[in-house]
A and B are shown apart, each in its own frame.
Chain A
Amino acid sequence: MTSATAAGGVKPPAVPKSRKSVTGTRRTVAALFLLPALVLLGALVVYPIGYSVVRSFYDQSGDGFAGIDNYKALFTDEGIRTALKNNIIWVVFAPTVATVLGLIFAVLTERVRWGTAFKLVVFMPMAISMLAAGIIFRLVYDQDPDKGVANAVWVGVHDTFTQASAFPKAHPGRESPLEPAGGGAFITKSPVRTGETVSLPLVGVAPDLMPDDAKPAVAAKPEPDKITGTTWQDFTRGQGVGTLNRVDSSELGYAGMRIEAVKDGRVVASATAADDGTFTLPASADGAQLRLPDSNFKEPYAGLDWLGPSLVTPAIIGAYIWMWAGFAMVLIAAGLAGVPRELLEAARVDGASEWQVFRRVTVPLLAPVLAVVTVTLMINVLKIFDLVFIIAPGSAQDDANVLALELYRKGFSEDQPGIASAISVFLLLLVIPVMWFNVRRLRREVRR
């Protein structure tokens, strides 16, 4: 965090007119005050930079000069290329989304009385470790919708808009009149006739997955000029199948099962089973085969595989934004406090809508703050390590790879310090523009 900050200080120090030392300090004293800091910085920060640069031109054992081979590996090594690609995704999306959210929160909290409480809640994750945040989000992203809150919400929303199928894993039992019809559907082996009753027994639906409104199955009564029948679970837990392919009193009807009558490959009639599993088809179904279409048997929707190969990076970026949007919000709110209210009022009096005021007055005035926040977050994101290391499960670490993680692997588990050094120098090169910017601005300020 500290070393991540982009720049520029509290207000430019009010530089005393003549910044002579306060009544003649001896140089030796000055040296003594400075020595500890300079020695530590020299040994722990400056020397390593030089060492890494030199090391990056030597091979993995450190004995042979390797030229730019290690840097070539940055663009040829499969793992590093994935890391590079992911780092670009990170640097583009994480800082911008966090800044935009921070801006929205900062502007909106000004309009509610409990804005401070809200800010506290959003800012709080900044105080905790990325490790803790990682563990928090491992729980959030648990694949099982019964355990992970992300999928619980997502499945809830999904099932509100699409009908859940009712009978996963149902299939014909022994000596069944039904056979698979391909694609997960089942069809009667022989055609049906009017006046007959048809049995469509299946087995295999777990008791707790049966529809809540399923009632004990009832054998259908024959009706002239109609086809009647029953579809039910021909099995009771603890009692077995009872009479095979016959309705027993303890067996439940497949309430809501869809039944289609198929003649020459065309659906000529269809019906839905009642709560007791009975159904009726018109005379037009005479001579057709009855099919239970596959839509009856789809697995229930299990939500998104958040930590799978394709979503793992966006998911971890989500966790990062959870941690850092508060940082953006607090800085932007401070900038907002410095925006002259009269300007906003003047725009409103001139008839500008709230959106126009925001777009044309607030945002331009905040542009410098927004830039500082975004750049700070970019530097921070460049080095992202802990969150990826913790949240990405072993199987998805290759897909979620980032440069800092790859550096750690190469340097400390794959024994390739040459390549690891090249990665670190690459990271350093990326922050040099910011370094230069900081120094330039400060130079103007410290000049007497």
Chain B
Amino acid sequence: MKAKQSLGSRLAEGVSGGLVRVFLIVVGLFWLVPTIGLLLASLRSPEDIAASGWWKVFTEPSQITFDSYSKLLENEDITSSLVNTVWITVPATLLVVIVGSLAGYAFAWMEFPGRDWWFLGVVGLLVVPVQVALIPIAELFGEIGIFGTVIGVVLFHVGFGLPFAVFLLRNFFAEIPRELLEAARLDGAGELRLFFRVVMPLGAPAIASLGIFQFLWVWNDMLVALIFSDSGSQPITVALQTQVRQFGNNIDVLAPGAFISMVVPLAVFFAFQRQFVSGVMAGAVK
């Protein structure tokens, strides 16, 4: 009886195991095909794209060409917007990490009146939609003359990156063993020394998660830059966005452009998967 049952259930398991595998492979293809489509489209001439689907390259591999890429890299608008993306993303990430660490440390280990209330206030800001700030900040930046500049875009990203940064780092720093800090203090370390030599190194995992998160967030942003940058300071997302209205005619710019804009975030993602995932988790799961 028992043997029979286990044989039957083993059979059932074998069949359902096969089904599970087939299902997951189909889903995996569903997830891969759109990106492959973009890649292959970027490797064909606009004439070929207008004539047939990207899957044609499987039967006519001779269609593959890097012309769109080489033309794109001669396109002044695109190359300068790529440079802008870097000029926006790097400072916005560094500033959030530094300012967030300072505040996170203060909230975790310093004593001052109303500390926990201030911290709860910051936590409350976690879910504030950026939309609330678009109009007021546009006017503010206009008045102080940084509307349309890289500085303005960076500042906006720092402002909206900070609540999460402070929240994440304060929680992480609070778990540093008290003895470590006290020992350093007894050795005569000053506040700054303590911060840079003890807290920052011990907090490295959280800082890395935060940095990667913020980096991807800013690199991939379009909305904020759409409003706060001008044609001289716009990042790649905004430069490409202007071409979308004539999608069919600009496919030779859009497809390779989108792919180039994806290369950096994808490289970061694959290189730092673990930190990225733990950043995602810190943001949501408990």
A22 touches B109 (CB 8 A): yes
**Does A209 touch B at the CB level, under 8 Å?**
no
Binary per-residue interface labels of chain A (1-45) against chain B in the complex, 1 for a CB within 8 Å, 0 otherwise? 111111111110111100111111101011101101110110111
Would you call B103 an interface residue if the criterion is a C-beta within 8 Å of the partner chain's C-beta atoms? yes
Closest to A117 in B: B28
Interface residue from B17, B37, B178, B226 paired with A149 (Cβ < 8 Å) = B37
Q: Find out whether the CB atom of A7 lies under 8 angstroms from the CB atom of B286.
A: yes
A75 close to B (CB within 8 Å): no
Interface-lining segment among B59-67, B70-78, B117-125: B117-125
With known contacts A43-B159, A379-B127, A424-B132, A10–B282 Cβ distance under 8 A: yes
Known: A3-B128, A435-B127. A22 touches B181 (CB 8 A): yes
Find out whether the CB atom of A47 lies under 8 angstroms from the CB atom of B17.
no
Is A407 a contact partner of B134 (Cβ separation < 8 A)?
A: yes
Q: Given A7-B286, A136-B258, A354-B16, are A37 and B182 also a contact pair (CB < 8 Å)?
A: no
A43 surroundings in chain B (CB, below 8 A): 140, 159
Q: A23-B182, A44-B155, A44-B158 are in contact. List 16 more A-B contacts (CB 8 A).
A: A1-B213, A3-B125, A13-B174, A22-B109, A44-B159, A45-B162, A55-B135, A128-B265, A131-B237, A131-B240, A135-B254, A139-B37, A404-B129, A408-B223, A412-B227, A427-B129
Residues of A within 8 A of B118 (CB): 34, 38
Cβ-closest chain A residue relative to B198 = A22
List B residues at the A interface (Cβ < 8 Å): 16-17, 20-21, 23-24, 27-28, 31-35, 37-38, 41, 49, 52-55, 99-100, 102-103, 105-112, 116, 118-120, 122-138, 140, 155-156, 158-168, 170-172, 174-175, 178, 181-182, 185, 191, 194-195, 213-214, 216-217, 219-223, 226-227, 237, 240-241, 244-245, 247, 254-255, 258-259, 261-262, 265-266, 268-269, 273, 276-277, 280-286
Residue among B16, B100, B220 with max Cβ neighbours from chain A (10 Å): B220
Would you give the shortest CB distance from B238 to chain A, in whole angstroms?
A: 9
Closest B residue to A327 by beta carbon equals B280
Which residues of A have CB within 8 Å of B219?
129
Residues of A within 8 A of B120 (CB): 439, 442-443, 446
Residues of chain A within 8 A (CB-CB) of B237 are: 129, 131
In the assembled complex, the Cα of A30 lies from the Cα of B102 at a distance in Å of 9
Complexed CA–CA distance, A327 and B276 (Å): 11
B185→A442 contact, CB < 8 A: no
A394 at the binding interface (Cβ < 8 Å): yes
Residues 98-156 of A at the B interface (beta carbon under 8 Å):
105, 108-109, 111-112, 118, 120-122, 124-132, 134-140, 146-149, 152
Task: Please judge, given known A-B contacts A130-B222, A330-B277, A424-B132, whether A29 and B191 are in contact too, CB under 8 Å.
Answer: yes
**CB < 8 Å neighbour of B53 from A8, A137, A146, A424:** A146
A112 CA / B17 CA spacing, docked (Å): 8
Q: Please, how many angstroms separate the alpha-carbon atoms of A44 and B16 in the complex?
A: 54
Q: How far is the CB of A105 from chain B (nearest CB, A)?
A: 7
A382 at the B interface (CB under 8 A): yes
Q: Which of B103, B128, B175 contacts A38 (CB 8 A)?
A: B103
A368 and B286 CA atoms in complex are apart in Å by 9
Q: Verify if A411 is at the interface (C-beta below 8 Å from B).
A: yes
Interchain residue pairs with CB less than 8 A apart (27):
A2-B160, A3-B128, A3-B129, A3-B160, A4-B127, A8-B285, A10-B171, A23-B182, A25-B109, A25-B191, A29-B110, A33-B195, A37-B103, A44-B133, A46-B125, A52-B133, A108-B23, A112-B24, A135-B38, A368-B286, A372-B286, A393-B247, A411-B134, A420-B135, A427-B132, A435-B128, A438-B123
Asked if B31 and A125 make an inter-chain contact with CB atoms under 8 angstroms apart, the answer reads yes
Is residue A373 within 8 Å, beta carbon to beta carbon, of the partner chain? yes
Residue of A nearest to B100 (CB): A37
Residues of chain A whose beta carbon lies under 8 Å from any beta carbon of chain B: 1-11, 13-16, 19-25, 27, 29-31, 33-34, 36-38, 40-41, 43-49, 51-52, 55, 105, 108-109, 111-112, 118, 120-122, 124-132, 134-140, 146-149, 152, 322, 327, 330-331, 334-335, 354, 368-369, 372-373, 376, 379, 382-383, 385-386, 389-390, 393-394, 404, 407-408, 411-412, 417, 420-421, 423-425, 427-428, 431, 434-435, 438-439, 442-443, 446-447
A48 adjacent to B167 (CB under 8 Å):
no
Tally the A-B contacts, defined by beta carbons under 8 Å: 351
Using known A-B contacts A13-B174, A44-B155, A124-B266, determine if residue A152 contacts B53 with beta carbons closer than 8 Å.
yes
Which listed residue (A40, A112, A152, A382) contacts B21, Cβ 8 A? A112
